[in-house]
Structure 1
Amino acid sequence: MGLIGILLGLALLIWLAYRGWSVLLLTPVAALIAALFAGEPLLAHWTQTFMGGAAGFLRQFFPIFLLGALFGKLMEDSGSVQSIARFMGERLGARHAVLAVVLAGAMVTYGGVSLFVAFFVLVPMAQSLFRDANIPRRLMPAAIALGTSTFTMSALPGTPAVQNAIPMPFFHTTPFAAPGLGVIAALIMLGFGLWWLGRGVASARRAGIGYGGTLGLTPDRTADAAAEDPLVRGRATVASSFDPAEIHHGQVSADLPPVFLAFLPLLVVVGVNLAMSLLVLPQLDLNYLAQDRWGPTSPAEVSGIWSVVVALTAAILTLLALNWKRLPRLRESVDAGLNASVLPVVSVACLVGFGSVVAALPAFELVRAWVLGIEGGPLVSLAVSTNVLAALTGSASGGLTIALESLGAQYLQLAAQYGIDPALMHRVAVIGAGTLDSLPHNGAVVTLLAVCGSTHKESYMDMVMVAIVGAIIALAAVIVLGTLFGSF
Structure 2
Amino acid sequence: MGLIGMILSLALLIGLAFRGWSVLVLAPLTAMVAALFSGYPLLASWTQLFMVGTADFLGRFFPLFLLGAIFGRLMNDSGSVRVIADTMIRWLGTERAILAVVLAGALVTYGGVSLFVAFFVLVPMAREVFIAADIPRRLMPAAIVLGTSTFTMSALPGSPAIQNAIPMPFFGTTPFAAPGLGLIAAATMFGLGMLWLSHACRSAQGKGEGFSVDDDAPHSVLSGTESDRSRGALADEFDLAEAGEPSSTEAPPSPFAAFAPLVVVTVVNLVMSLLVLPRMDLAYLAEPEWGSTFMAAVAGVWSVIVALAAAIVVLILLHRARLPRLRDSVDAGAHASVIPALSVACLAGFGSVIAALPPFHYIREQVLAVPGGPVVSLAVATNVLAGLTGSASGGLTIALDAMGSLYKAAAEAAGINPSLLHRVAAIGSGTLDMLPHNGAIVTLLGLCGATHRESYRDIVAVGILPPIVALLIIIPLGALFGSF
Q: Give TM class, smaller chain.
A: over 0.9
Tell me by how many angstroms 1:417 deviates: 1.2
CA deviation profile, 1:164-209 (whole Å, cap 9, x unmatched): 0111101000000000000010000000000000111011011111
- Is 1:274 the counterpart of 2:267? The answer is no
Tell me by how many angstroms 1:249 deviates: 5.2
Separation (CA, whole Å) in 1 of partners of 2:142 and 2:460: 8
TM-score by length of 2: 0.98
Tell me by how many angstroms 1:455 deviates: 1.1
CA deviation profile, 1:367-407 (whole Å, cap 9, x unmatched): 10110000111111010001111111111111111111111
SS in structure 1 at match of 2:221:
helix
Cα pair 2:154 2:164 within 8 Å, conserved: yes
Separation (CA, whole Å) in 2 of partners of 1:136 and 1:229: 29
- Is 1:459 the counterpart of 2:431? The answer is no
Cα pair 1:368 1:407 within 8 Å, conserved: yes
- Is 1:127 the counterpart of 2:127? The answer is yes
Counterpart residue number, 2:396: 400
Cα pair 2:222 2:245 within 8 Å, conserved: no
Separation (CA, whole Å) in 1 of partners of 2:117 and 2:223: 10
Tell me by how many angstroms 1:242 deviates: 1.4
Tell me by how many angstroms 1:219 deviates: 3.4
- Is 1:439 the counterpart of 2:435? The answer is yes
Tell me by how many angstroms 1:234 deviates: 3.0
Map 1:204-223 onto structure 2 (within 5 A).
204-212=204-212, 217-222=214-219
TM-score by length of 1: 0.97
Map 1:230-241 onto structure 2 (within 5 A).
230-236=226-232, 238-241=234-237
Separation (CA, whole Å) in 1 of partners of 2:50 and 2:107: 37
Separation (CA, whole Å) in 1 of partners of 2:396 and 2:43: 26
- Is 1:257 the counterpart of 2:262? The answer is no
Counterpart residue number, 2:107: 107
SS in structure 2 at match of 1:121:
helix
Tell me by how many angstroms 1:238 deviates: 2.7
Separation (CA, whole Å) in 2 of partners of 1:228 and 1:282: 44
Cα pair 1:237 1:343 within 8 Å, conserved: no
Counterpart residue number, 1:25: 25
- Structure 2: runs of 5 or more not aligned: none
Map 1:15-54 onto structure 2 (within 5 A).
15-54=15-54
Map 1:371-382 onto structure 2 (within 5 A).
371-382=367-378
Counterpart residue number, 1:355: 351
Separation (CA, whole Å) in 2 of partners of 1:250 and 1:441: 27
* Segment drifting more, 226-235 vs 251-260: 226-235
Cα pair 1:348 1:398 within 8 Å, conserved: yes
Separation (CA, whole Å) in 2 of partners of 1:440 and 1:145: 13
Counterpart residue number, 2:58: 58
Output the amino acid matched with 1:137.
R
Separation (CA, whole Å) in 1 of partners of 2:156 and 2:393: 16
Tell me by how many angstroms 1:311 deviates: 0.2
Output the amino acid matched with 1:156.
L
State the aligned residue count. Answer: 484
Tell me by how many angstroms 1:94 deviates: 1.3
Cα pair 2:224 2:244 within 8 Å, conserved: no
Tell me by how many angstroms 1:15 deviates: 0.8
- Structure 1: runs of 5 or more not aligned: none
Separation (CA, whole Å) in 1 of partners of 2:26 and 2:409: 33
Separation (CA, whole Å) in 1 of partners of 2:116 and 2:350: 25
Counterpart residue number, 1:311: 307
CA deviation profile, 1:421-463 (whole Å, cap 9, x unmatched): 1001100000001101111111111111111121111111100
Cα pair 2:163 2:426 within 8 Å, conserved: yes
Separation (CA, whole Å) in 1 of partners of 2:351 and 2:173: 23
Separation (CA, whole Å) in 1 of partners of 2:223 and 2:476: 41
Separation (CA, whole Å) in 1 of partners of 2:8 and 2:355: 15
Aligned CA-pair RMSD: 1.1
